[in-house]
Structure 1
């Protein structure tokens, strides 16, 4: 049954079934293997579910199309976010999983944010690393108490600081419990990001 799921993906079962599963969502150019070491580092006992984005841009997998750097094809974002949410539901049945926490980097963080706003029932929470708002006019959502951590890089040349702030506002306005942390880093991830992510997951 797992072979018939809608996304090419990798799954690693939990060694502690009381831990929430982790949905790993890679950045542009990554694949289903890209974030498995990160997932195991921040959630060593949790189940890991890691799909590969279906959109190809210059030979690199992504989760949705963009018109240019920083400008998203919002119609495609909506379609792909719903498709990903459906996949999560199918994978939960196939693998016997609880509702997962999304851990996304860059493009993966943006599609996770879109799923939170469009299909809030699909996720138990999210860690959004180097994220920006997926919609110019965020849809109204119902995320009462949903835990979200936004991790930004102070020196990030791709994601402006106001982008993370706007995303935090959109999620907070939908009822999510949002924490924001800014590391002394660029767009790439650091050990501080991993430490903050692991601490956040330990509280859930």
Structure 2
């Protein structure tokens, strides 16, 4: 299998140094495979970066799964697209010779990362979820024992409300994930506080996994 054969349009950048685990970058609505590359380089310097483009179009804007309205999700599509993304991760690991990645997702990208964690826990080594919310009304109990998850929420976020964020935290924690949740003085957009928190969290992941490729 070559890069051209993989099921998602994507960018792959190999690791510049040994140590950091590979990072799966998952953009928000309207982004593409280049959107989060600068963020990935900043928070996980030297790590391999794998950045796919969402395959759903909402009025021309790429997303990772369908929604019926703001905050109302097509859960059947969420499950199907999470499976598609899990298969892509497996393809990419074989093609590029990398270990299980840690996801770094923003908004819609954070939500599909959480869905993959809960539905296909073997696909990811952990996740940093920036402005996530619950997208599954009845999430499965997955085996996430020992997997680190960072959740960064905005105190004034009009999209990812506190009840939905709390529901996601409960689902991940109940599955055994080691969840760190921070509520920042922010709205739905990212700030320098997100950059600082994510950078510190990824530095700890690199220190914990010195032999990752």
Taking structure 1 as the reference length, the TM-score comes to: 0.99
Report the equivalent of 1:139.
140
Superposed displacement of residue 17, structure 1: 2.7
Superposed displacement of residue 31, structure 1: 0.2
Are 2:187 and 1:173 equivalent residues in the alignment? no
SS at match of 2:25: strand
Are 2:203 and 1:197 equivalent residues in the alignment? no
Report the equivalent of 1:121.
122
Aligned-partner Cα distance in 2 for 1:155–1:41 = 25
Question: Structure 1, unaligned stretches of length 5 or more?
Answer: none
Aligned-partner Cα distance in 2 for 1:18–1:4 = 28
What per-residue deviation string (whole Å, max 9, x for no partner) do you get for residues 147-198 of structure 1? 0000000111111112111101000000000000011000000111011011
Are 2:6 and 1:33 equivalent residues in the alignment? no
Aligned-partner Cα distance in 2 for 1:2–1:95 = 8
Report the equivalent of 1:78.
79
What per-residue deviation string (whole Å, max 9, x for no partner) do you get for residues 108-144 of structure 1? 0000000000000000000000000120111111100
SS at match of 1:99: coil
SS at match of 1:150: strand
RMSD: 0.6
Q: How does 1:101-116 map to 2 (within 5 A)?
A: 101-116=102-117
Runs of 4+ in structure 1 displaced over 4 angstroms? Answer: none
Report the equivalent of 2:54.
53
SS at match of 1:50: strand
Higher relative contact order (CA 8 A, sep 6+): 2
Superposed displacement of residue 37, structure 1: 0.4
Question: Structure 2, unaligned stretches of length 5 or more?
Answer: 206-213
Aligned-partner Cα distance in 1 for 2:60–2:3 = 26
Give the number of aligned pairs. Answer: 204
Report the equivalent of 2:17.
16
Are 2:165 and 1:149 equivalent residues in the alignment? no
Aligned-partner Cα distance in 2 for 1:12–1:78 = 28
SS at match of 2:129: strand
Taking structure 2 as the reference length, the TM-score comes to: 0.95
What per-residue deviation string (whole Å, max 9, x for no partner) do you get for residues 43-63 of structure 1? 111000000000000110000
